[in-house]
Structure 1
Amino acid sequence: MVAVTRPLAQSIAEAADPDRWLSALTERYPPTDIVRLRQALDWVFEQYGQRIHTDTGSSLFQHAVASASIVADLRLDANSVIATLLFALPTQLNQPMELINTHFGPDVTRLLDGASKVSQLRSLAHPAGGKAADAAQQIEAVRKMLIAMVEDIRAVLIKLAWRTQTMHELAQAPDDVRRRIAQETLDLFAPLANRLGVWQIKWELEDLGFRYLHPDTYKKIAKLLDERRVDREKFIDDVLSTLRIELNNAGVKADLMGRPKHIFSIWKKMQKKKLDFSELYDIRAVRILVPDLKDCYTALGIVHNLWQPIPGEFDDYIAHPKGNFYRSLHTAVIGENDKAVEVQIRTIEMHEHAEYGVAAHWRYKEGGQGDARYEEKIAWLRQLLDWREDMASETQFAETFKAELFDDTIYILTPAGRVITLPKGSTPVDFAYHVHTDLGHRCRGAKVNGQIVPLYTALENGQRVEILSAKEGGPSLDWLHQGYVKSHRAASKIRHWIRQQHQDIAIEAGRSIYDKEAARCAARDANQDNIAVKLGCKHIEELFAALGQGEISQRELNQAFRESLAPIEPISEQPNDFIKAARANGNGEGILIEGVDKLMTLLAKCCKPVPPDHVMGFVTKGRGISIHRSDCSTLKRLASAAPERLINADWGIQRGHVFATDLLVEAHNRGTLLRDLSDIMARERINVTAVNTQNKDQRVLMRFTLEIRDAEQLQRILIKLQDVNEVIRVIRG
């Protein structure tokens, strides 16, 4: 994880003497970087002059140097340190980016541009008016938007460092300014530091924000702690030293880490669990990471041998994992000077799962509803930050971040500043339907950042969209078929509206679509009823209505035309005397084998026929009669070899019977696709007996074996699965 290499107070104190600070950096950066840092330091001294920070009243130059010291302690590259020194210049100079690019190059300019975006977006966290629940959703959306919009995560770290220094200088600010900035810090910047794993910055921001907002409560908890933070940190160091010696003597290899719980965290836990201060045993905590499971319990024995365990404070989450599969041993002991210490023991694998997997600590700390796809991205980002030092250059790091992260979601602003989350590629029509269904229906145009754009325009991160609407009216059918909508939500709303209109309007619209597609495929002479049946409709009028309502796509119609025009492999002609004369099975149930009573029948696994598929029987050797769909390729091959074994068959009255059939689903791969498909089948009360998936080139092919009652149920499930977001096609297997 990104770690500050020493206490922030030490970094800030050293930055009070810029020349001394720069001299200290010679141990971390090569001489060429030191030269550039000296140039930047001299240049910003000249540019900032006697200017002061508008919120804190402190020297802007000293503020910049202290912030740059924090960034340097994060082990970021020289360009990041330079960009931090320059951070406030865009608001102080004319044409600042051109000037900065000339002096320090494009990488520094890009970093400054990204950090400026972060500053501009912070005002969106608290739009005027609205309910508390809406405000919480808005803040969470802005947190996500901040990370998604910057092209380089170093820009976010620069802003966090600058904000940390602001919080250290905020004590002398007017009360209203102090409270506003402290609230913004707790709402926006501390959670960002938490998610990125920059723990020391996170703790500083939380404690300082809490101190400015609730000074009396802060002082009360500080008094209860009865020791300074530096004393608590020394106590933890002593505990770690003792543990390191004992574990080494026992032959247990272990990584040790510790932290004293901070005042804001103590208050949050007291509030969340309704505990008194005396009931908290994790004010001081250490963590032991070991290679193997057996070492966990060995380390536990060593801890309990060194210090007295506190009764009732031992939890074995290895034997009994939490619901999110978090695994660890937790215990609390009485350490030196009768001070309680919490000890967590886990393997390195368990720790990686806790930090990067579904058990991620940041979500536990922040609370609220989880977003699985977003949490996966944050986990990946944390790993990327961990790998940063192993990459060949910061350029490689920035390109990796830009190429891989948050590439399937965009964040769009309403005119009032509310953040709307949409799938990548969404259009103003998708945006309108997300805001309100009625606005989507009445949408007639759109402005993006004040400029009128076509409704099929793909939106980009951070754009402000205003919908131009009519007083009344409905959506256009073209929106479904000509790329105006990308989101499943908008498409389903449009289809629902069309279904509510007069059926004859939908039929005429569908007839027009059918005629255009037939002309394009040179299929004007195709049998219309056959095309309708191929697409699951009983007759051509039903197909027209489905096309007009957007329930069947032009792509599916095109495929049906092509299949109807393709040459069909002929079944060898059979003389009539090879096909047996018919008489139905007497019991009226099951398969009716014509001409013979009470023969054993079995449904062929190759084509899995379902009523009312047209079927034929094939007399096997020793297994009775296998029942195939009449268009089954296997049946055609068998018939050509032994036509005398063909026999007519039909479905009897099927009372309570179910039939196994295969469905093939081709889709663009996404995390919750299988769950969404399964939910639809569960709602239809369809039993799934087998699932097989294959992934290739960001696509997935799933084969489901279902138990179906009849063709009506089969057609219904085909339509519903086709409507699922990212599904390309659904066909019989």
Structure 2
Amino acid sequence: MVQVRSPQPVNTDGSIDLGRWLDHLQTMVPALDRKVLLEACEYARSADERVKTPEGSWGNGASSHIIGLEIAEILASLKLDQDSLVAAVLYRSVREDKITLADVRQRFGPVVGKLIEGVLRMAAISASLNPRESLVLGTQVQVENLRKMLIAMVDDVRVALIKLAERTCAIRAVKNASGERRRKVAREVFDIYAPLAHRLGIGHIKWELEDVSFRYLEPEQYKQIANLLHERRVDRDLYITHVVQQLKNALADSDIKAEVKGRAKHIYSIWRKMQKKGLQFSQIHDVRAVRVMVPEVRDCYTTLGTVHSLWRHIPKEFDDYIANPKENGYRSLHTAVIGPEGKVLEVQIRTHDMHEEAELGVCAHWRYKGADVSNGPSHYEEKISWLRQVLEWHEELGDIGGLAEQLRVDIEPDRVYVFTPDGHAIDLPKGATPLDFAYRVHTEIGHGCRGAKVNGRIVPLSYSLQTGEQVEIIASKQGTPSRDWLNSNLGYVTTSRARAKIVHWFKLQARDQNVAAGKIMLERELARLDTPSVDYERLAEKANLKTAEDLFAALGAADLRLTHVVNLAQQLVEPAERGTDQFEFIPRRSSTTTTSRPGRRDDIQIQGVGNLLTQIARCCQPLPGDPIVGYITLGRGVTIHRQDCANALQLAGREPERMIQVNWGPVPEKTYPVEIFIRAYDRAGLLRDISQVLLNEKINVITVNTQSNKEDSTATMALTIEIPGLDALGRLLGRISQLPNIIDARRHRTAS
């Protein structure tokens, strides 16, 4: 739910009563130096009086002095130190050129000056974001500004916290601003600052930023859920009051000193759960929820037993984040039960320390010179380490979408935790490979990687790492990346971080090398898939490039995905194959709930508007898997463009109200028979290994025919398999090619 803040104390003349305001701050930060902070407030106020801004810095009538007090109040709730609060009070005045940074340094010291300078560097991102674009569609300017932001964050994490507080004030202040202004601020906050608050573990800031951003970006969805919550609020409040009292009595009988409160479910988290799991509002278990806070960890589990003895536990609705904390350090017990009146109820159980950490995150473990942290190692260093890992991107950040993935880890929570030879833990997405690990450790280790050992045993670079394994990279100082690493069919890298670094390396190479390498890559893949001769000039035109040489160069520099180009090639030869027994690698429409253009087999799902006539834009010709966006035409339904299409971007600029979100429909279940040919040096276990690959890829085998040649010790196999599409076939042949002793693995077309 959106936070409701208390108004600042005012004098009879309408000015802020700084004495009472400081009294309020001191309840949150007892060690506050009132004299220094009062001097900063007076300095900012006098600057406001000298330099007037009629509409206020955000167009809402608020002066930079008032905004500074609001920012400082948020930071005080996060328990920040004296220098941070002073910097917060003065920041907007410096930003609006009412006072100079040099004057701040002279009057309040170099630390305050450095903090303000860092926040000013982060502020560059606000100027570059387009309110109609997601961060995924960012420009090179945005990349550069994000780079500045990350550098500022790593210099001193307090800079990021001041900026978080400032953006919280900004999104609160745009309530009465224009729709475009609200969307601009909301887009920036939702894409960057809410995920950042999550990564730093600052729960109440994250929830407020998500809810308010959601209200401005998806107003209809927000109102719908808010109304559903409001309709049930009175009944829910009475119900929660009864549950809280019942639980308090039961815990008192068990001699547990507990604080029990009702907990409001945040609107955006309700919507996200409904979308992610395909649920109705009535199926959300944690709309009714209570939170229990106890003194000790052992009391958490005792309380859990009490809760389960009072009400029946719902299977598979229990999470122990105390034994297995979330990546951002969050710890708590979550359980769902059938409460009184047969209603589903969520219960969260945690200690008071855990609650403080959930609300304040990194701020709950503040470690600056002179700070005393007595409860052992904190998550503070881990979070700073994460920020530094993100900074390693600054040399090769060319993909904003990758950054969004790195920030918003809660979208894909499945992680694996592996160890370096020195015993340091590294977390990676599920399915990560030794190459992903190498690039996570250091760029040069990734570039020079020539092999890997897992638990002392040499494994392929495409090996899928598992939690608890120790990984050692075998690297060469003269080593360079292989272009095969970028072939998704071979499965060498799975993270956008590693891919971005490899792509960056190849972009630095000469164009002639890229042309030669790209041509070899494409010819080899087309030969393996037994695709008939392709006109490369036509193929380049289909990929929106001028010449075949441009196509090869783009492939060699990894600007184009090999699988994407192969799919285009298949479309070029497809008309000649109609009427034969060869299958088509284009998904067929598989659901009556999706719509498609007549004659087109690409399933397109239109979000939120039901069935509409759709057509594929000729300018960019998106393919299944490409990021897409819809444009509502006059009389011709919805035209589907790639998100990076120049025409679509121009239309979004001129008529944003006619752009709608679309995505590809579900992958069809239909499969097609294909014959593949494998030639290998004969050895024991060869057929078993190939069968294992087929099993891992979930490929059904119809027929197998094997022959051995004693003269040259080779074996040939002809297999007829059922395959869902061209991508799956390329991936399968890639996996088979990596087996020991394999000479050739390719698709075989029977003569018609």
Bucket of the pairwise TM-score, normalised by the shorter protein: 0.3 to 0.5
The normalised TM-score by structure 1 is 0.46
